[in-house]
Structure 1
Amino acid sequence: MVKSVVGEESQLKSLENRLFQSSVPSQVGIIIGKLSPNSDRGFVYDLIPTPLTDGGSPACALKSEPATREEKKKGTRGGKSSNESPPSIEIDSDWVAEHARQVSRMLMGGMHVIGVYLWAPESSFKATSPSIISQTVRAVARAAPWYNDEIDERLLIHISYSPSRWICRNVMVGSGNMRPCDFKMGKLLASLQIYRCMYNFDIRLPVFKDGASDSGTFKNVLRCGIARHAKELESAKALVDGKLVAEDQHITSEGTHNVELLLPFVSDAYTGASSSNEVAGLVVFTGSICASAYLGPKESASQAICDLKGDIVSSMRSRLDIICDDAEDKVTMASDHVGESTGDTLAGKAIHQLNLQELRKPYCLTFPRRVFVPWQSGIFICDYLQPMETFEDLKDRCKEMMAMESPIENSEILEPETEAPSIMAKSFWDIIHEDPTSAVIESKNTTKSTERDYGGKPKSSGFNLVTAIFILVLALLLGYATIDFKPVKPAH
């Protein structure tokens, strides 16, 4: 259980100064930090305000409740105004949760959305029902879950400006109970260690014929495959800077630490089924992921490895969610404009609704590419670029989601993934009984490729055989002619 919390002083004080200068009566946002199950301390790296809703209104406001009849009578007798009861805090929990979901995709390993903060006077905070606040915290926890989440706790930070003070509470997500915890500020970001890993993967997933109507959809097949791969990844060993490290070892050297994950040889549970008549097709999910994790000075190397593994799995899931969200948006736009094409559809279905059991032709899709964006004190966040997106789209998202005010130079954005992960879905016919047409095409392509490799021109094998026979016959005829027409020597 979290008993004490340390916040990054530079970031938190900067936010407090901006809030005082803006004179906004209330504000809600999310907390970026880290809570470890092995420690009773929490770390807060930054507070990110939730942007305005689609309607242009803030996600948090102070609302004055109308005075009851008894309060009016008391106010009249005492000669006081009936409007002296402090306003309560009104929060758009769904909008805050959606903001948390979007931001969680942009965080590297070792960083999470760990709670909610409120900017409001203390009187308004006390006038607000605790259930409203805990409901917001619970919505954020569900929208932005952690990899292997073992903690049923999130933080609530109340920044009061009347009087001016910071109050931190530990909220139990399940029950909604709140407990105060110690809070202080210090320097955190400058002491974080960086661990980075280039992870190559090749996941092959069978599509079964007898599955339920929705179990063979593109979205569900990939989700199950990622979950299965995440379990295999848990047992992977790691080399840090080329050396095998112990679980409780602490690495004190500075700079970026390169990690290589070694997956054990495991028996594929689907190998037997892949050759039977239960399989309708195959999905190949392959690519390279540049994973990154940030570790505190007192954490062991095993925690960094765990955070890296979590970053890999989270990156896979985030890319899948982005593709599905984009497909849903296109379907919505198409329904609003009858007759328009949704773009990424097949047989009238969006990508996430595509039933792979019905697929009869190979289908290939490229996933969004991960890029790194500088954030604070040498720390990077990430974003994902679709094939048609540019750095300008990325900058707009960082400004809106992460409240980044400083301009981002294109030269500062890192692109460690040269090629984005992709999937290919093949039908059962193409896998077990190779399509003769595709085999002929492949054979032709191979022949042409071989000829190009040697710098020659396409030649006919039949023509070469006839030429060889012709030359052989010609040689024999010339031989016989030489013997027949040989001059006879005169007899002596």
Structure 2
Amino acid sequence: MGRSVQVDATIHSYAEGCVQRRVIAEVGALVGRCAPGKDLVLQALPVPSRDGGVPLAVTASGSASKKTGKGSKPGSTLAGSLQLDEELVLEYACLLERLLPGGLDVVGFYLLCPAAAFAAAAAPLTALAAHAGRELSGRLSSLLLLHIDSVSGELSLRDGGPGAGTAALRPCELKLAKLLDQMVLLQSRYEVSMQLPVTSGRQELAAAFQAAADGAAAGAQGALGLVDGRLATEGWQLADVPAAADDGSAASTGPIAVELLLQPSSSLAMCTAGGGKAGSGLLRGRAEGGAVGQVSIQGCLDCRACLHRREAAAAAVEAVRLDVRRSLQARMDALLDAAEQQQEAAAAEAEEQQGRPHGGAAAAPLPPPPAHPLFAAAGDSSAPLLVSLPRRAFVAAAAAGGLPYCDYLFEGESTQAVLGRLQLLLPMPGLATAAVECLEQAVGRQAPSLSPSAALPLRAGSGSRGVGALPCSALVVGAGAVAVLALAVGYFSLGGQ
């Protein structure tokens, strides 16, 4: 037996429940943690249906006549018995990983189906794992494939890595354990201040966003850190923190404070919209030449990570650094997509008004919707326009199966919007009435007297372990960009019926 993987016992209970309900076929994503010497699978989350179709079905023959959804392309027929909507599965996995804190990833997929159907589908499943490995930002070298026998409920795990080949998937050693009770939550602050050019082209603007995300992440790369006020090293574990020594899970205890020790901002390399040191050469020179204005994007990020209590403290710092990149990229993805949608809505409204008849009883044309701040800056290139990043909100871990999921709020949205979107992706009844925690403030609403460290009032209650006193880490980066993935649109396309 090769790779050894620990699987949370709740997944086995879920499999038994599926057998009792006589579920024939189901596909979903596996959430867990892959670290050197520690592979953990914590949750199995089914892919929601879309347009009345299902992402996985067992077919009586090898035909692809059964469609996966109204108006959607037929899925790939697996060995004449399984029909999988690979596009929907990958879309769900990409959306799901953006809801996770640092340290956790989409580590693979599970398929609930007859054993013979799973065994016959080795080649297509290997291709699915390889495709997902390229699409997901975690860039894991090997994704897992968990089979749940729809007849017996038996679990078997396979390694879908590049070396698995197309003929068979490598078996893994599966060990059931109570893992969720051993996970601990960590929290840090990270301040960003970015000057970005507004360009007339979508591609150039995306390149500018990508360089900003790369520059911000580069500032945290290699940084040392303090965990609960103590220098994080490989020589001690998170369990050595007094508050984490009682086997308290992330669902029942507060976060452990982490502080990143960054270089002074003046020594950080600046980046340009067209590429440069942080931009990886994306569209070099094109964004600068097409700039029609500037915006200043600022915020103090609530960064979190979730790790096993028996991991080294140094791993906690690395997980927080990774969360900086993931969280910033998710926010800027959403911000850029919202800008484009609002600009398109304004253009459509203006076109509609031009087509209306004038005179007579016709109503006066309505003014077009206001342009998004990113595009409003195009009219005034003399001074950057201040734009707040979408704020991060976390749902109580106890309501989400023991893990702290998050989403991002735009100005004017309430925490109910977070719960509504999460319920589309996470099949957890407790989310309907779950508590939502949003500790970030919009930059435009901060009182002038507040210092950067006070801009994010972390709650310092009985379970906060002193996080409220944690100062922000300042970082100033140049222009940059993010590959566009529409969060809100993706939510509703997955949940639409």
TM-score (norm 2): 0.68
Whether the 8 Å contact between 2:164 and 2:170 is mirrored in structure 1 is: no
- Residue 112 of structure 1: how far off its partner (Å): 0.6
- Residues 383 and 291 of structure 1: is their aligned pair in 2 closer, same or farther, counting only changes over 3 Å? same
Cα distance per residue 1:90-117 (max 9 Å; x no partner): 1101101111111111111111111110
Q: Show the counterpart of 1:189.
A: 180
- Identity over the aligned pairs, expressed in percent? 25
- The answer to whether the aligner puts 1:62 opposite 2:58 as a matched pair is yes
The residue number in structure 1 matching 2:21 is 22
What amino acid does structure 2 have at the position aligned with 1:101? C
Counterpart residue identity of residue 177, structure 2:
G
TM-score of the superposition, structure 1-length normalised? 0.69
Give the counterpart of 2:427 among 386, 403, 411: 403
Query: Does 2:407 match 1:415?
Result: no
CA–CA distance in structure 2, aligned partners of residues 316 and 158 of structure 1: 34
Match of 1:260 in 2: 259
1:465 matched to which residue of 2?
none
Give the direction of change, closer, same or farther, for the CA distance of 1:293–1:49 in structure 2 (3 Å limit). same
* 1:45 aligned onto 2:36: no
Question: CA–CA distance in 2 between the matches of 1:221 and 1:153?
Answer: 31
Alignment of 1:281-360 (within 5 A): 283-329=295-341, 339=352, 343=369, 345=371, 359=381
Q: Unaligned 5+ residue runs, structure 2?
A: 64-78, 245-254, 274-287, 354-366, 446-497
Indicate whether 1:8 and 2:8 are aligned: yes
CA RMSD of aligned residues (A): 3.6
SS at match of 1:416: coil
Aligned match of 1:373 in 384, 395, 417?
395
Q: Distance in 2 between matches of 1:397 and 1:43?
A: 26
Question: Whole-Å Cα distance in 2 between the matches of residues 66 and 402 of structure 1?
Answer: 32
Of residues 85, 94, 104, the one that matches 2:97 is: 104
CA 1:317/1:58 → structure 2, altered by over 3 Å: closer, same or farther? Answer: same
1: distance between equivalents of 2:397 and 2:6?
20
SS of the aligned residue for 1:153 comes to coil
CA distance in 2 between partners of 1:240 and 1:163 (Å): 45
Q: Would the aligned equivalents of 1:152 and 1:174 in 2 still touch at CA under 8 Å?
A: no
Counterpart in 2 of 1:436? none
Spell out, residue by residue over 1:148-192, the C-alpha distance to the aligned partner (whole angstroms, 9 max, x if none).
x4x310000010123441110011158755211011211111111
Distance change (3 Å), C-alpha of 1:141 and 1:9: same
Which of these residues, 170, 186, 190, is aligned with residue 199 of structure 1? 190
**Which structure would you say has the larger RCO, counting Cα contacts within 8 Å and 6 or more residues apart?**
2
Query: Aligned ranges for residues 163-242 of structure 1 at < 5 Å?
Result: 163-173=152-162, 178-204=169-195, 207=197, 216-217=204-205, 219-242=206-229
Residue number in structure 1 paired with 2:87? 94
Q: Deviations over 1:399-456 (max 9, x none)?
A: 221111124436x22122133699xxxxxxxxxxxxxxxxxxxxxxxxxxxxxxxxxx
2:136 to 144, 164, 167: 144
Q: How far apart are the structure 2 equivalents of 1:392 and 1:112?
A: 25
Residue aligning to 1:389: 413
- The secondary structure found in structure 2 opposite 1:339 is helix
Residues 30, 115 of structure 1: 8 Å contact kept: yes
Contact conserved, 1:8 with 1:44, CA < 8 A, in 2? yes
Cα shift at 1:344: 6.3
Q: Which amino acid is 2:183 matched to?
A: L
CA–CA separation in structure 2 for the residues paired with 1:406 and 1:94: 29
Distance in 1 (CA, whole Å) between partners of 2:436 and 2:84 is 35
CA offsets, 1:243-271, max 9 Å, x none? 32334332322243211112113535449
After superposition, the C-alpha distances for 1:269-308 in whole angstroms (9 at most, x for unaligned) are 44999xxxx8966553321011111121331111110000
Q: Is the 8 A contact 1:367 1:421 kept in 2?
A: no
1:190 counterpart letter in structure 2: D
How many positions carry a matched residue from both structures? 384
The answer on whether the counterparts of 1:2 and 1:42 sit within 8 Å (CA) in structure 2 is no
Q: Which amino acid aligns with 1:339?
A: E
Cα deviation for residue 226 of structure 1 reads 1.4
Quick one: distance in 1 between partners of 2:330 and 2:444? 12
Q: Read off the aligned partner of 2:133 and give its amino acid letter.
A: A
What whole-Å deviation, never above 9, does each CA across 1:310-337 have from its counterpart, x for those lacking one? 1111100001112233445556767887
In structure 2, what is the Cα distance between the partners aligned to 1:325 and 1:302? 35
How far apart, in 1, do the equivalents of 2:59 and 2:108 lie?
A: 23
Tell me the SS of whatever aligns to 1:239: strand
Deviating 4+ runs (over 4 angstroms): 173-177, 211-216, 268-273, 278-283, 327-338, 340-344, 353-361
1:239-250 matches, within 5 Å, as 239-250=226-237
Letter in structure 2 aligned against 1:372: F
Q: Is the 8 A contact 1:33 1:43 kept in 2?
A: yes
Distance 2:203 2:25 in 1: 45
What CA distance in whole angstroms lies between the structure 2 residues aligned with 1:342 and 1:100? 36
Contact 1:370–1:420 (Cα < 8 Å) also in 2: no
Contact 1:240 1:260 in 2 (8 A): yes
**Contact 2:30/2:106 (CA < 8 Å) preserved in 1?**
yes
CA distance in 2, matches of 1:268, 1:184: 45
Q: 1:358 to 1:182 in 2, by over 3 A?
A: farther
